[in-house]
Chains A and B, each alone.
Chain A
Amino acid sequence: MGLSTAMEIGKNGLNIYRVASEVTSENIANVNTPGYSRQRVILESAPPTTANGFPMGTGVRISTVERYYDALLQKQLVNAQTTQGYDTTKSTVLQQIEPTFNEVGNDGLGAAITNFFGAWQDLTLNPAGSAERQAVLSRAQILTDNFHSVSTALNDSISIQNESLVPLTNDINATLNNIAQLNGQIKTTELVSGNANEARDQRDQLVRDLSQQIGITYTENSDGTTDIKYADGGAALVTGATAGSFSLDKITDPTKFAVKMTDTSGVPMTPAPTTGQLGATVALRDTIIPGYLTQVNALASTIATQVNTQHLLGSDQTGSIPPPGGPPTTVAFFTGATAATISLSAGITGTDKIAASGSATLLGDNSNALALAQLQGQKVMSGNTATFGSYFNSLVSKVGLDVQSAKNTETQDIAFTKQLTTLRESNSGVSLDEELTNLVKYQRSYQASAKLITTATEMMDTVIAMIR
């Protein structure tokens, strides 16, 4: 043990506090980087040597540079993100559909139905009046237009969901590849030296991003890699440095993509996505929106059938008397049995084709117009429990309820995720106050180490002067 040892310790100190400042500067630089976990230098005293008869330390050394990471929080965040991904997608799309059913102002499809039957009421007061007849045709036109627009809005929404699967699966595949690549890098880096902290941060961030899109389960391996499995079916999505992939095909149904996947060992699979954005998109496309459409179609179909049946019982103004037992000469009022196809039948060429009268010879009779007007109050929907109006009103209310509950769950999810993110930030986030304090601390230690060297040099000079 000599003066050179003191200088050596001083030199070590300089090096180590330089490294410590570097870590601090890395933390400061990444204060706003998403997914970054703060790092710290773990210092320990260097192994002692025995000199002058007693053991003595040989200065300081860096044990490791570690990051603050909470595996449990990561797990909770991954689960919360999956739920939030599902609910946000559902809520956003439903809120886009809601205006189609915004009947609160009483001026959409519901109003069109009421006005259509109102026009028949007016016709009962003047069955032969051409103005009243024209009003029936106009109201019928408005009714069919409303059906078409609701149907178009819903069908558009379905095809938008279908098309959005393309960028979504591309995104998922890119994320899976990146995770696999980072896994490889982490493994290689950590074989050579220390912790690949930044690469791990990036990978953990990607895993959280991925969990918004699909539900996943993951395992952290001892070699630093993370294996990922699909929550819907358990197929392996990432194993070490290998990634599986999602694909879409239109073979079974040309209008709808079928979601397919290949797992990490190359086995093709057909998953049934129910979680994350992917699950929500598929559910919206296959179940939720088609559910609304089915109800609107049932309404259109029943109105068409009921109006046609009653219309055929009446007589129009063309004066043709139906042959006894033969087919009626009155034409059907509507054609088409879905919201998209319902329209005035081609046979209704003019106002004289409206069958307001109950008899071919009595032009001023209103009995059939009255019967048609009274259809409005009859319970013919939902197994004869609802009128056209109340059936549509419950549909509007149902859509409202769906949107409301989707919005509420989304708000809850956001609050929950926020709480978890705050916890993560509290553990892993960079605090500038702390880093600045550390910086001052390391700067002082660096100065002290330098002072040590200066002092040792002066002592050395004293010794050399003695020799002269």
Chain B
Amino acid sequence: MRITANITSDNSLYNIQQGRAKLDKISELISSGKNVNRPSDDPINTRLLLDIGDKVKTTDQYTSNISKASTWQQIANTALTAMSDTLQLAKQQIATISNGSSDATIRQNAVSQLKALKQQMVDMGNTQMGDQYVFGGAMNTTAPFSGTASGTPPTYYSGDETALKVEIANSTTQQMNIPGNQLLTADTAVTQPYGTTNILKAFDDLITAVNANNVPGIQAGSQAIEAGSKQINNAQSDVASRVTRLDSMTKLNENNSNTLNNIYSNTQDVDYAKLAVELTQQQTAFNASLSATAKISQLSLLDYM
């Protein structure tokens, strides 16, 4: 083939351009630290990276949901423990007058103690997380419990029985709340997972019985408080099992997240050692090509004529 100076210079330019393009690519990879900087770099892996990115975001959302739901459970648990303690105090108080007393002062004392304990139960029932009453069901913007029964039929509870659910994994939900009526006024609840005792009514009945020195009434009240105590304990174990489930879901999500992040970083993070070697190779080649071009393009017959 006949070679002219123009062919040589065109070829040199083309090859220098190729060398520059390779150096530019390596420089982009090193400085960005990413293998895929735009979809066309690797369309198939782009798809993978995007899917993983979406999944990580969703998993993060579930983790955030779980963490908020856990806070809710902790607050509910604190209230339930306090309720359980309160009922314990009530039982001790009842034990002192389980056979009644002819002394009106003693009875009066017991009644005021019981009234205070009942008010504590109502206050616990009105526990709030942020603006939300945790035992209010879906009507959780106003206090669900009051100390006196009102309405027809008379009830202490003005909330409702809706189960509030949050998503903790894809299409998996967890009930977050305990509707207050299932807890403190279970006799009127539609579903009765913990028991059937109306604890607040038991207090009121007990107070009436103590006032009237009605021994069978006091003993019936004592049994009702005992049953109520079990009911609260049942609710506590329900909350505990929810916490266990949320914890295990958190771990599962963390594992998922770790695995996904590993895949992401295996695909997306550059191998610096490999790139450094490539860079050195390309540099050597590019230097050689520049040097050769500079030397060869100076050769001309004109210099010798």
Q: Give me the interface of A with B, judged by CB distance under 8 Å.
A: 31-32, 95, 98-99, 101-104, 106, 110-111, 114-115, 118, 121-122, 124-129, 357, 359, 361-367, 370, 373-374, 376-377, 389-390, 393-394, 396-404, 407, 418, 421-423, 425-427, 429-433, 436-437, 440
Given A377-B58, A400-B39, A400-B43, 4 more contacts at CB 8 Å?
Answer: A104-B39, A359-B162, A393-B51, A422-B7
**Neighbouring B residues of A363 by C-beta, 8 Å:** 138-141
CA distance A468 to B50 in the complex (A): 110
CB distance from A131 to the nearest CB of B (A): 10
**Neighbouring A residues of B72 by C-beta, 8 Å:** 125
18 A–B contacts, CB within 8 A, in A order = A110-B50, A111-B57, A121-B61, A121-B65, A121-B166, A129-B132, A363-B139, A367-B165, A370-B165, A389-B51, A390-B54, A397-B39, A397-B50, A403-B38, A426-B3, A429-B4, A429-B6, A430-B4
Q: Does B14 interact with chain A (Cβ within 8 Å)?
A: yes
Closest to B50 in A: A393
Q: Does B10 interact with chain A (Cβ within 8 Å)?
A: yes
Closest to B304 in A: A436
**Neighbouring B residues of A98 by C-beta, 8 Å:** 38-40
Q: Check B10 against A425 for contact (C-beta < 8 Å).
A: yes
Is chain A's binding surface mostly helix, strand, loop or mixed?
A: helix
Query: B301's contact among A95, A425, A432, by CB below 8 Å, is which?
Result: A432
Q: Does B273 interact with chain A (Cβ within 8 Å)?
A: no
The number of chain B residues with a CB under 8 A from chain A is 58
Q: Check A432 against B302 for contact (C-beta < 8 Å).
A: yes
Find residues 1-37 in chain B having any chain A CB closer than 8 Å to their own CB: 1-7, 10-11, 14, 34, 36-37
Q: Check A103 against B39 for contact (C-beta < 8 Å).
A: yes
Q: Does B152 interact with chain A (Cβ within 8 Å)?
A: no
Q: Check A436 against B305 for contact (C-beta < 8 Å).
A: yes
CB distance from A364 to the nearest CB of B (A): 4
Known A-B contacts A357-B138, A403-B40; the reply to A106 vs B50 at CB < 8 A is: yes
| Number of A-B residue pairs at CB separation under 8 A | 188
Q: Check B38 against A99 for contact (C-beta < 8 Å).
A: yes
Q: Check B167 against A432 for contact (C-beta < 8 Å).
A: no
CA distance A362 to B142 in the complex (A): 11
Q: Give me the interface of B with A, judged by CB distance under 8 Å.
A: 1-7, 10-11, 14, 34, 36-44, 46-47, 49-51, 53-54, 57-58, 61, 64-65, 68-69, 72, 130-132, 136-141, 160, 162, 164-167, 170-171, 173, 176, 300-302, 305
CA distance A366 to B139 in the complex (A): 11
**Neighbouring A residues of B141 by C-beta, 8 Å:** 128, 363-364
Query: B65's contact among A124, A394, A400, A440, by CB below 8 Å, is which?
Result: A124
**Neighbouring A residues of B47 by C-beta, 8 Å:** 393-394, 396-397
**Neighbouring B residues of A32 by C-beta, 8 Å:** 6
Query: B164's contact among A115, A365, A421, by CB below 8 Å, is which?
Result: A365
CA distance A60 to B208 in the complex (A): 146
CA distance A429 to B5 in the complex (A): 9
> Looking at B42, B47, B130, B170, which has the most chain A CB atoms within 10 Å of its CB?
B47
Q: Check B53 against A106 for contact (C-beta < 8 Å).
A: yes
CA distance A103 to B41 in the complex (A): 12
Query: A370's contact among B36, B37, B160, B167, by CB below 8 Å, is which?
Result: B167
Closest to B14 in A: A418
CA distance A422 to B173 in the complex (A): 69
**Neighbouring A residues of B7 by C-beta, 8 Å:** 422, 425-426, 429
CA distance A122 to B37 in the complex (A): 32
Query: B165's contact among A366, A396, A423, A431, by CB below 8 Å, is which?
Result: A366
Q: Check A102 against B171 for contact (C-beta < 8 Å).
A: no
CB distance from A154 to the nearest CB of B (A): 15
**Neighbouring B residues of A126 by C-beta, 8 Å:** 130-132
Q: Check B34 against A104 for contact (C-beta < 8 Å).
A: yes
CA distance A364 to B160 in the complex (A): 10
CA distance A99 to B50 in the complex (A): 15
CA distance A437 to B136 in the complex (A): 104
**Neighbouring B residues of A125 by C-beta, 8 Å:** 65, 68-69, 72, 166, 176
CB distance from B58 to the nearest CB of A (A): 7
CA distance A101 to B58 in the complex (A): 21
Query: A432's contact among B49, B50, B166, B300, by CB below 8 Å, is which?
Result: B300
CA distance A101 to B41 in the complex (A): 13
**Neighbouring A residues of B37 by C-beta, 8 Å:** 104
Closest to A393 in B: B50
**5 smallest A-B Cβ distances: which pairs?**
A400-B39, A403-B40, A400-B43, A364-B140, A365-B138
**Neighbouring A residues of B170 by C-beta, 8 Å:** 377
CB distance from A313 to the nearest CB of B (A): 16
CB distance from B218 to the nearest CB of A (A): 38
